[in-house]
């Protein structure tokens, strides 16, 4: 149950960053200035992709809140952060694919 909750948390945070109206102005500004800086270009690509954003959200959640990999396998932190990012990316992709499937069925 705790893994499911962690994935839903990662999905919600990724959804807000990629599609949420609260960040529309910030996303538009980053996209407009993406050619001015390599960092802004990276962030522009990142916030355009649900799978990319969820990877970094997984890194962040693992570092700040809870690491499922460390909990299950007792790995060192720097290794668990990497695998938590990959776990978040896959889990969020699966949830997003299911939601998009049902949205297209309307």
Structure tokens at 44: 């522009």
State the total domains in the chain: 1
pLDDT tens digits for range 46-70: 999 999 999 999 999 999 999 999 9
CB 50 within 8 A of CB 11: no
Rounded Cα distance between 18 and 92, Å, is 12
- Supply the pTM of this predicted model: 0.89
Full residue range of the structural domain in which residue 61 is found: 2-104
Residue 59 CB contacts under 8 Å (≥ 6 apart), including other chains: 81, 82, 84, 85, 88
pLDDT tens digits for range 88-104: 999 999 999 999 999 99
Indicate the pLDDT class of residue 105, thresholds 50, 70 and 90: confident
Rounded Cα distance between 103 and 96, Å, is 10
């Amino acid at each position: 149950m705790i893994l499911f909750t962690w994935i839903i948390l990662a999905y919600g945070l990724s959804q807000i960053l990629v599609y949420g109206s609260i960040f529309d102005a910030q996303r538009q500004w980053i996209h407009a200035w993406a050619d001015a800086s390599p960092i802004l270009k990276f962030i522009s690509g990142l916030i355009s992709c649900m799978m990319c954003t969820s990877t970094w959200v997984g890194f962040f959640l693992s570092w700040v809140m809870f690491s499922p990999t460390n909990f299950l396998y007792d790995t060192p932190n720097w290794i668990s952060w990497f695998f938590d990012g990959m776990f978040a990316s896959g889990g969020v992709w699966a949830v997003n694919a299911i939601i998009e499937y049902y949205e297209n069925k309307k």
